[in-house]
Amino acid sequence: MPPKPSVENIKAASQGLHAPLAGEVSNAEDYFSEAAKQLLKFHGMYQQHDRDQDGPKTHSFMIRTKVPGGQLSAAQYLAHDRISSDFGNETLRLTTRQCIQFHGILKGDLRDSIRTLHNVLITTLGACGDIVRNVMACPVPSTDPRRRAAQAFADELTLALFPQTRAYHQIWLDGEALIDETPLDEPLYGPTYLPRKFKIGIALPEDNCVDVYTQDIGLVALFDGAETLAGFNLLVGGGMGKTHKMETTFARLADLIGFVTPDQVIETCRAIVTIHRDFGDRENRKHARLKYVLHEWGVERFKAELQQRLSFTLQPPRPMPTLRNVDHLGWNAQGDGRWFLGLPIENGRILDESSKQLRLGLRTTLERFDLGVRLTPQQNILLTDIVEADRPTIEALLYEYNIQTIEQISPVRRLALACPALPTCGLAIAEAERISPQLITEFEQLLDDTGLVGEPIVIRMTGCPNGCARPYVAEIAFVGRSKEKYTIYLGGSFDGERLAVEFLDLVHADDLVPVLAPVLRDYHAHRQTGERFGDYVYRAGIDTLRALVPQPVGEAVGD
Contact 219, 262 (CB under 8 A): no
Of these residues, 11, 93, 133, 146, which one is catalytic? 133
Backbone angles phi, psi at 495, to 5 degrees: -100, 10
Is 197 one of the annotated active-site residues of the chain? Answer: yes
Contact 443, 460 (CB under 8 A): no
Of these residues, 303, 374, 425, 532, which one is catalytic? 425
Of these residues, 41, 64, 66, 414, which one is catalytic? 64
Contact 70, 375 (CB under 8 A): yes
Of these residues, 146, 359, 468, 485, which one is catalytic? 468
Of these residues, 199, 374, 470, 481, which one is catalytic? 199
Q: Is the peptide bond before 316 cis (omega within 30 degrees of 0)?
A: no
Of these residues, 464, 481, 498, 532, which one is catalytic? 464
Of these residues, 197, 349, 359, 470, which one is catalytic? 197
Q: How far apart are CA 179 and CA 510, in angstroms?
A: 53
Of these residues, 419, 460, 485, 498, which one is catalytic? 419
Is 37 one of the annotated active-site residues of the chain? Answer: no
Q: Is the dihedral of CA 333, 337, 342, 343 positive or negative?
A: positive
Question: 3-class SS at 84?
Answer: helix
Is 269 one of the annotated active-site residues of the chain? Answer: no
Contact 383, 340 (CB under 8 A): yes
Which of 133, 126, 154, 160 has the alpha carbon at shortest distance from 43?
Answer: 126
134, containing H or E segment: none
Q: How far apart are CA 420 and CA 433, in angstroms?
A: 5
Order of strands, sheet of 92-94, starting from the edge strand that comes earlier in the sequence: 45-49, 59-64, 100-105, 92-94, 349-350
Is 419 one of the annotated active-site residues of the chain? Answer: yes
Q: How far apart are CA 6 and CA 282, in angstroms?
A: 10
Is 468 one of the annotated active-site residues of the chain? Answer: yes
Is 133 one of the annotated active-site residues of the chain? Answer: yes
**Residue 413: which residues within 8 A CB-CB, separation 6 or more?**
344, 346, 440, 444
Annotated catalytic sites, by residue? 64, 133, 197, 199, 419, 425, 464, 468
